[in-house]
Amino acid sequence: MARRLAAGARLVLASHNPGKLAELADLLRPHAVAVVSAGELGLAEPGEDAPDFAGNARIKARAAAQASGLPALADDSGFCVAALNGAPGVHSARWAGPGKDFAAAMTRVNREIGDASDRRAWFVAALCLAWPDGHTETFVGRVDGAAVWPPRGGQGFGYDPMFVPSGSTNTFGELDPAEKHTVSHRARAFAQFLAAGFLAG
């Protein structure tokens, strides 16, 4: 494949979110690439104004690739609740405010669900690999489950403590990272990325 990342190639992780960076770094660790974060390179965070996860992932990946001259992998993901018509969705980070207060964001989600009997919820992750010439490849993963209250567990980040994936009794906040990596939305998008053959190792 012409665009395959050679062993030892540098890959920019186009995120400033510590939780996402940690998960992406863990997923990439078995593969022969040298990862560097956008923050380490001093790259600015671009505005995210696309209406969907894939569009926002492309914005971030393209900006990082063009600014760094290196291939870049970006993630855009969010928590979606059926009773809220898919909200907070692409606005998941915004619901946490400038201080990234996800405890407050989870409280808001629960308050807005109210006494609705429908607790269905899902996480979506879009991964976009961008090249300095503007070419992109995008992969989208989803995991379904239910929103629970109160939040449980200190693992993970964001809305993880209030989400129980289908087939489990534990929230994402209660799963250890290795277990979460087998079922998460990000892991499912990453599996598609691997299957596309861009990594040498």
Which pLDDT score, from 0 to 100, does residue 199 have?
A: 86
Domains identified in the chain, total number: 1
Is residue 180 assigned to a domain? yes
Which pLDDT score, from 0 to 100, does residue 2 have?
A: 56
Which pLDDT score, from 0 to 100, does residue 116 have?
A: 97
Q: For residues 81 and 19, is the Cβ–Cβ distance under 8 A?
A: no
Mean pLDDT of the chain: 94
Is residue 168 assigned to a domain? yes
Is residue 150 assigned to a domain? yes
Token pair belonging to 17: 């979110």
Which pLDDT score, from 0 to 100, does residue 201 have?
A: 56
Which pLDDT score, from 0 to 100, does residue 146 have?
A: 98
Is residue 151 assigned to a domain? yes
Active-site residue identified among 49, 75, 76, 160: 76
Which pLDDT score, from 0 to 100, does residue 56 have?
A: 96
Which pLDDT score, from 0 to 100, does residue 88 have?
A: 98
Structural domain harbouring 70? 9-195
Does residue 1 carry a pLDDT above 70?
no
Which pLDDT score, from 0 to 100, does residue 51 have?
A: 95
The DSSP result for the chain, as a single string, is -TTPBPTTEEEEE----HHHHHHHHHHHTTSSEEEEETTTTTPPPPP---SSHHHHHHHHHHHHHHHHSS-EEEEEEEEEEGGGTT-BGGGHHHHTTTTT-HHHHHHHHHHHHTT-S--EEEEEEEEEEE-TTS-EEEEEEEEEEEE-SS---SSS-TTGGGEEETT-SS-TTTS-HHHHHHH-HHHHHHHHHHHTT-B--
The reported pTM is 0.92
CATH number at residue 181: 3.90.950.10
Is residue 39 assigned to a domain? yes
Is residue 166 assigned to a domain? yes
Is residue 201 assigned to a domain? no
Average pLDDT over residues 12-29: 91
Is residue 2 assigned to a domain? no
Q: For residues 151 and 171, is the Cβ–Cβ distance under 8 A?
A: yes
Q: Would residue 76 show up in a list of annotated catalytic residues for this protein?
A: yes
Average pLDDT over residues 155-159: 93
Does residue 168 carry a pLDDT above 80?
yes
Which pLDDT score, from 0 to 100, does residue 54 have?
A: 97
Q: CB neighbours of 88 closer than 8 A, spacing ≥ 6?
A: 78, 79, 80, 81, 94, 95, 105, 109
Average pLDDT over residues 161-190: 94
